[in-house]
Amino acid sequence: MRRRGFTLIEVLVALVIAALGLAAVLSVVTASARDSSYLRDKTLASWIALNQITLIRISNSLPSVDKTTGDVDFANGKWKWQQTVTQTDVPNLRRIDVAVRHAEDPDTAPVATLTGFVGRTQVQTPPSAATWEVNPAGPGGTHAGPAATPVTPVKPVTPLPPVTPATTTP
């Protein structure tokens, strides 16, 4: 009676196949972790840039055309931002470019760059605007409206009776 088992060659081939499979899995896990870290940093840098643009927009004044930089601590990290404000072809409209980098690597490419616009409008009264004045509306009351509009009294509204559900008998 002869025993059948695995030969040394078969065991070595199985080990090589298992090692290649584990190497492929390790490669995928490493790439996933690297991508996750990159996307986290990209999201945080985009939020920092958006915060800078929002601060300019809520300041109620047009920013001056220049380049400014700053540092910020955000999400347990240190970041550097550079803001460039340029004049557009449209009067009272400025373009804002904000680039955000890691503070540890200030010479590297920006992690995120965001562009926004801020502007101020000039409100003009149309030449055919109606003239409004206060007219008497009855005993002791006033009504604001166009000078030529007559005031008509409003009749009180009578409430509708309550709705009762219909019942059916079998």
Is 124 a member of any domain?
Answer: no
> 45 in a domain, yes or no?
yes
Compute φ and ψ for 72, nearest 5 degrees.
Answer: -150, 140
Residue 24: domain span: 8-119
User: First and final CA of the chain: distance in angstroms?
Assistant: 89
What is the C-alpha to C-alpha distance for residues 97 and 114, in angstroms, rounded to an integer? 6
Distance of alpha carbon 61 from alpha carbon 94, whole angstroms: 11
Q: Is 152 part of a structural domain of the chain? A: no
Q: Is residue 149 part of a domain?
A: no
> What is the CATH classification number for the domain harbouring 72?
3.30.1300.30
**Full-prediction pTM beyond 0.85?**
no
Tens-digit pLDDT profile for the chain (170 aa)?
677 888 999 999 999 999 999 999 999 999 998 899 999 999 999 999 999 999 999 998 899 999 999 999 999 999 999 999 999 999 899 999 999 999 998 788 999 999 999 998 776 666 655 555 555 555 555 555 555 555 566 677 777 777 766 666 65
164 falls within a domain? no
Among 66, 57, 52, CA closest to 100 = 52
> Domain total for the chain?
1
How would you class 111 by CB atoms within 10 Å of its CB: exposed for 0-12, middle for 13-18, buried for 19 or more?
Answer: buried
DSSP assignment of 9-58, as one string?
Answer: HHHHHHHHHHHHHHHHHHHHHHHHHHHHHHHHHHHHHHHHHHHHHHHHHT
pLDDT of residue 77: 92
| pLDDT (0 to 100) of residue 1 | 62
Distance between CA 90 and CA 117 in Å, rounded?
11
> Is position 138 within any domain?
no
Q: Is residue 34 part of a domain?
A: yes
* Cα–Cα distance, 102 to 109 (Å, whole number): 9
Give the pLDDT score at 167.
Answer: 62
